Structure 1
Amino acid sequence: MLKRAIQYMVISALAFTLLNVFVKSLNSFNVYQIVFFRSLGSLFFTLPFLLKNKISLLGNKRGLLVMRSVFGLISMTLFFLSLKYIAMGTAVSIRYIAPIFAAFFALLFLKEKVKPIQWLFFGIAFLGVLILKGFDAKLQFDEGIIFALISALFAGLVYITIRKIGNEDHPVVVVNYFMIISTVIGGLLAINGWVNPIGKEWLVLMSLGVFGYFAQLYMTKAMQVGETNVIAPFKYLEVIFTIIIGLIWFKEVYTLWSLIGILLIILGLTLNITIKKVKK
């Protein structure tokens, strides 16, 4: 079971990586058009699933479903925007500090307890962000760091909202809401700056939803068949895969300080996952 879970997580990491790479390559398209196609592509999977299994599209916790979708839309849009300014590995690493914001919001709104040592691990991860910001001379645009940080903040709100929804709604209903709202809003905002895709660009744009869907699907499968504290750290393979492809494909450059920052982020969050699941 462990081997299968790891295989699922590797597939998920690769799918997320390819999503990042294709988003990065679509420089001639505005971020809203990219959001539109990424969301539209996933609807080809979520809608048929819900209809086939006769699951209500409207769901039960409708207010929370809309809220989760809006938070997710903002997070996704800002993350895609950050990819236009900074190296992919840096953007992905910063996005992964979302659990820090989630822990803070859970403490504030859900009254959940956070172990003191978890704050230490969060501190290690956030130190990595500060090192990325302060010492990476290749970060020419502060906007990229800011966009990635705010994206992580809203991702933290997504986690809390999903926790509030709990088991009241099917996971695919939650994703379907997100994709429908993102498709509609992304499409409307993309109208003014719309660029007609040419040739292979259609394939690349439509593939965004495919990679996004399967990345989420296999990550869920991995969590279902393996223990979270053992499997979850493997999701950070996305950072490694993204850095490697960024170096080869986009000729991105990472300084020693930026690599140290990324390592600290992964280390802090991995330690947090381990201690949170082992000591309850």
Structure 2
Amino acid sequence: MSLGFFLGLASGVFFGIMSYLVYAGAGRIPSAELAFMRATFSFVALTPFITAHVRKAFSARSGTLWLRSVAGAISMQCYFWNLQNSNVGTANTFANLAPVFVALLAWWFLRERINRPEALGIALAVAGALSINAPWANPPRGLVTAVGVTGSLSASVSYLALREAALEFSSPLVVWCLSAATMLACPFAPGAVWIMPHGSFWLLIAGVGAAGMMGQVLMTRSFLYVRPQVASVLALTSLIWGLVLQIVFEHKIPKAGEWVAYALVLLGVALLQLTAHSHAVAEAAAE
């Protein structure tokens, strides 16, 4: 397994932990407030690691860095709007469409094509992720669809900008800027009135913040080695780890159809790994 795949899959582990903690805290802390707290955790924790080169974030070459951050914040706003105006399944469905838009935008604007095995791997993983939420059971309204697609497009732009930002700036600085943009956006997100956390809420916030920060740092590093079209799919493995945690701690066993959906995600990721390995072997032989 290549380093890029390892980092991408490792980020999926932390995102899976974060997602489970967010799920566990549902109804206890407003989602936008939890996202704000998560971003604040990363912002504060990473500040000591970026002070020496924080000026780079405001240089003339920081365009992709802030494009990544602002597009990510817009995507987050769309996600939370759909959470409040539809349901979790619908919001997640549009969020999981991002890898498709990444591949399309990379093809249209960057002239980067994917081969057939890669296209099949992406299709399988995304199909599995979408099947988990079964959006066809309750088709979303027109405005929900428009906001969801806008969020997916923003996420795909954020992923494409992340590749360039990761090459130019350190991973902590990239995540720090994303956290700053998210902190500014969260107070404007729709939802319930924010509360003052107390007691065990702080443990939940710390867990979400730490897991989210590690997931973002590892994902940013993975973009140094793996193309955005593939790296964005690796993020879907967080669904698998979220499932594992639900089985372990809540003894919730998925239905047969859900097992098939999760298997499709794994199959798609495995196919992408095999394709990447074949490319590496071919390049080594050519040299």
> TM-score w.r.t. structure 1 length?
0.73
Over 3 Å counting, the alpha-carbon distance change for 1:271 and 1:83 in structure 2 is: farther
Deviations 1:42-92 (A, max 9, x none): 0122221111466534244344333211221244456678889457xx95x
Over 3 Å counting, the alpha-carbon distance change for 1:167 and 1:256 in structure 2 is: same
For the 8 Å contact 2:166–2:223, the answer to whether it is kept is no
The 5 A counterparts of 1:12-27 are 12-24=11-23, 25-27=25-27
Deviations 1:5-37 (A, max 9, x none): 96x777644432221122112423222111100
Alignment gaps of 5+ in structure 2 = none
Q: Percent identity?
A: 21
Deviations 1:125-157 (A, max 9, x none): 344355445599xx77969x9798875544322
Task: Indicate the residue corresponding to 2:32 in structure 1.
Answer: 32
Deviation at 1:123, TM superposition (A): 3.1
Deviations 1:210-267 (A, max 9, x none): 221223345566788xx869xx798766333211222344565522112212211331
Over 3 Å counting, the alpha-carbon distance change for 1:228 and 1:70 in structure 2 is: closer
Deviation at 1:188, TM superposition (A): 4.6
Residues matched between the structures, number: 269
Secondary structure of 1:56 counterpart = helix
Alignment gaps of 5+ in structure 1 = none
For the 8 Å contact 2:100–2:122, the answer to whether it is kept is yes
CA distance in structure 2 between the aligned counterparts of 1:234 and 1:122, rounded to whole angstroms: 10
Deviations 1:160-214 (A, max 9, x none): 1123446333333222111001112213547971112121112322332222122
CA distance in structure 2 between the aligned counterparts of 1:241 and 1:83, rounded to whole angstroms: 22
Q: Which moved more, 1:189-198 or 1:241-250?
A: 189-198
CA RMSD after TM alignment: 4.2
Over 3 Å counting, the alpha-carbon distance change for 1:168 and 1:244 in structure 2 is: closer
Over 3 Å counting, the alpha-carbon distance change for 1:148 and 1:242 in structure 2 is: farther
Over 3 Å counting, the alpha-carbon distance change for 1:54 and 1:195 in structure 2 is: closer
Task: Indicate the residue corresponding to 2:41 in structure 1.
Answer: 41
The 5 A counterparts of 1:195-274 are 195-218=195-218, 238-250=238-250, 252=252, 254-274=254-274
> TM-score w.r.t. structure 2 length?
0.71
